[in-house]
Amino acid sequence: MVKFAKILALSAVAALFASPLFHSSKALASGSAEPLLEVSWSHRGPLGTFDRASLQRGLQVYREVCSGCHGLRFIAFRNLLEIGLKEAEAKVIAAEYTTMDGPNDEGEMYERPGKLSDYMPSPFDNEKAARASNNGAFPPDLSLMAKARIGGENYIYSLLLGYEEEAPEGVTLAEGMSYNRFFPGHQIAMGPPIDDEAVEYADGTVPTKEQIAKDVSAFLMWTAEPALEQRKRMGVKVILFLVVLTIVLYGVKRKVWADLH
């Protein structure tokens, strides 16, 4: 038992090393004092899986609301099969976009409908073009947004719902800016993007703004970490294996050392 206690102490030190530093560095980096809104996500926890229906609704929200300004450059149309779209459905979506391809045998560039192997086209040709049409602001690519902000998908969800019609007293907003409780500095160039019934869901889900925010946040978690399910499934197997192996090794160790006692 003494040995177990020592191993426990050892792990505790390892954890100690990690946890306080982690929390401090996180807390420090967050600009907004307001705690994020909490939602329950099916993909959280060691056995969590994505809610396919929600991801597909999120895709719809992205395409109908976000994609006007925000790109998704690391997602190819073929990836949409992973969230449960049929190949034919993904092909239809891909074909709705036109892509520049070429050069062909005559040396000309040409436009053609998107294919499964194409990546989601970005809405602007470059950052300058994006800023020119967005009051000087640059709408970031959303592929990794759920990992690039403290709070992850909870941050995206909170941000989408954190708009106030009027800035609190004493706060003056610059021209064209909106007030958001969760945005660092509270002044955000993006206007409130969603409202109740901003989209119409084909599966009959009621499109409240909370529902819309949740679906698109879950979708963006998937775009940021598409291997999440595979990772967790493998993690469970690996840890179970290691636990059994370690118990066996402990037994062997006891047996080998027994002749010294």
Partner 1 sequence: MSGHSSFQTNNPVLKWIEYRLPIFGFINDSLVVYPTPKNLNYWWNMGSLAGMMLVLQIITGVVLAMHYTPHADLAFASTEHIMRDVNYGWMLRYMHANGGSMFFIVVYIHIFRGMYYGSYKAPRELLWWLGIIIFILMMATAFMGYVLPWGQMSFWGATVITNLFSAIPIVGEAIVTWLWGGFAVDQPTLNRFYSLHYLLPFVIFAVVFIHLWALHVHKSNNPLGIDIKGPQDTIPFHPYYTVKDLYGMGIFGIIFAWLLFFAPNLLGEPDNYIPANPLVTPTHIVPEWYFLPFYAILRAIPDKLFGVIAMFASLFILFALPWLDTSKVRSARFRPVYKMLFWAFFINCFVLGYIGAKPPEGIFLVVGRLSTALYFLFFLVLPFIGWFERPKKLPESIATAVLESSGDDGGGGGGAPDGAAAKAEDRG
- The residues of the shown chain that bind partner 1, judged by CB under 8 A, are 2-3, 6-7, 10-11, 13-14, 16-18, 20-22, 24-25, 28-29, 31, 46, 74, 79, 140, 143-144, 147-150, 152, 184, 224, 226-227, 230-232, 234-236, 238-239, 242-243, 245-246, 249-250, 252-254, 256-257, 259-261
Cβ of residue 79: shortest distance to partner 1, in angstroms? 8
Give the Cβ contact number of residue 153 at 10 Å: 26
Residues in Cβ contact with 73 at an 8 Å cutoff, skipping those fewer than 6 apart: 119, 120, 122, 141, 143
Cβ of residue 162: shortest distance to partner 1, in angstroms? 18
Task: Return the closest-CA partner of residue 97 out of 112, 80, 83, 76.
Answer: 112
Cβ of residue 61: shortest distance to partner 1, in angstroms? 21
Nearer to partner 1, 168 or 185 (CB): 185
DSSP code, position 76 = B
- The sheet with strand 178-180 has its strands ordered as 163-164, 178-180, 187-188
Q: How many whole angstroms separate alpha carbon 83 and alpha carbon 57?
A: 10
Nearer to partner 1, 206 or 245 (CB): 245
Q: How many whole angstroms separate alpha carbon 214 and alpha carbon 200?
A: 15
Nearer to partner 1, 210 or 225 (CB): 225
Cβ of residue 109: shortest distance to partner 1, in angstroms? 21
Nearer to partner 1, 62 or 222 (CB): 222
Cβ of residue 142: shortest distance to partner 1, in angstroms? 11
Nearer to partner 1, 17 or 110 (CB): 17
Q: How many whole angstroms separate alpha carbon 85 and alpha carbon 90?
A: 6
Nearer to partner 1, 65 or 76 (CB): 76
Extended strands (E) in the chain:
98-101, 110-113, 163-164, 178-180, 187-188
Cβ of residue 197: shortest distance to partner 1, in angstroms? 32
Three-state secondary-structure class, residue 68? helix
Task: Give the β-pairing of 187-188 and 178-180.
Answer: antiparallel
Task: Return the closest-CA partner of residue 97 out of 127, 126, 66, 76.
Answer: 76
Nearer to partner 1, 92 or 252 (CB): 252
Could you identify the residue written with the tokens 């970490």? 225
Cβ of residue 203: shortest distance to partner 1, in angstroms? 27
